[in-house]
Structure 1
Amino acid sequence: QILSCVLRTKKQLQISFELLNFETKVKVDPESRLEKPIGYRLMCRFWTYDVFYHPAIIRGKYEYLMRMDDDSYFMDHIKMDIFNYTYNAKLDYIYRCVYYESIAPMVSIVHRLLNKTNLQNGCIYNNFFVIRLKWFYESKQVQTFVRELIRDDFMLRQYIGDGCAHAAMLEIDKQVKAQFLTNISYGHNFHLMPSGHVFWAFRAETKFYEEIKNACHQLTVLRNCCRRLVYICVIIYLLF
């Protein structure tokens, strides 16, 4: 999609691709959620911890990181510059939607850090999010939490969704400045989130492809970002 946008609009974009090592000898716990294969668990760990220490991120000295999966798209014009908005509002984290799933494997960690066994607002639908990297690196509460998740490959042996891990990060750090944005029309695969809608809605396959037809135009809405606010699009292809 990105390359087709460049060819159609004759715009110049600086794009780089980085290799990710998704190999491991870790064996999953047979009593964990076996429908979540090791490749998916590695992806969850990547977006919870590994991405922040990837050489490309460290080397770039970026201020913000934005996730946009290869099957994600904006369904309409975005009237604001997402990075300028995040910067001007002094936000540490923005997200578009929430969802719910079990956090059973990390309940003991959550209870120890929050003195409760559930997350107040469920899990973050984090196929799209923007995070201020300095907050992640310097928050003692967040660092304590994520290191608990990766210790002894806990996050791989057990299944812990990265969206639930992100939601816990926001609750554990009481000083975080996060915002739930509902004024962005966003879609991920067949899950559509029109502007103003809090939860995602499933649409038939034909509707998905109708939205994809406009993806080129919609993926260029961030072309006027300031130089100091860097847009990173990491595309991951997982083989399950």
Structure 2
Amino acid sequence: MQDQFAPLSAIRIVLVATSHPGNIGAVARAMKNMGLSDLVLVNPHQFPSYEASARASGAADILDQARVVTQLADALSDCHQVIGASARLRKVSWPQLSSREVGEYAVKEVAKGRVALVFGREDSGLTNEELDQCHILGHIASNPEYSSLNLAAAVQVFAYECRMACNPLVPDGLGYRFDAATHAQMEGFYSHLEQALTDIEYLDPAKHERFMRRMRRLFNRAKLDAKEVTILRGILTAAVRSAPKS
């Protein structure tokens, strides 16, 4: 069976001239959270670093296999598509995609070859010369009054969108699971509810049809399962048993 997350192995995260080694570790952690593993560093200020390892928090393997190069072109030489992350929309001729569109595009394009997501310096991003090496710009729709994201946070957003583009499914067997209540079970519950509310003298005989119609709409919206119907009927039985006898 084909691994639905296989495309993630062909998506490379490239960090250009990262100033703070802790950010490199945080990026490695963000990558591992989302199943990415290919990290290339272009002229990092300090690497390897204890601070990077400490911030990686369980993603040391990402740091151990990270490549360090001196030129952005070296990080991109084997890539089919290059997407540059930009904190702001630019008046340029490059195609510009939202972070969600980047995830969908990257996952689709790995069928043709490796895809790189390039992130610039913490304080100034990518230079125009570095942007010239990108085919597409990716933009995170953030608060326009404060659009600057921490480097690792930006990587996390794009990595998340790449993972979501793989259409992840909740693993079978997790969560609360019972068969949906059948029509017969629901009709039995409604009859029981009406009788119980009559027995405890809550239901107004003159308005019971309208009231029960509202109860049907309420519980139909809830989409009860068989176990929940059993629980509710048990509550009704206990309520009738405990009600004062006139």
Structure 1 and Structure 2 fold alike (TM over 0.5): no
Relative contact order (alpha carbons < 8 A, sep ≥ 6): 1 or 2 greater? 1
TM-score, normalising length from structure 2? 0.23
TM-score, normalising length from structure 1? 0.24
Structure with the bigger percentage of helix: 2
Question: Highest CA radius of gyration, 1 or 2?
Answer: 2
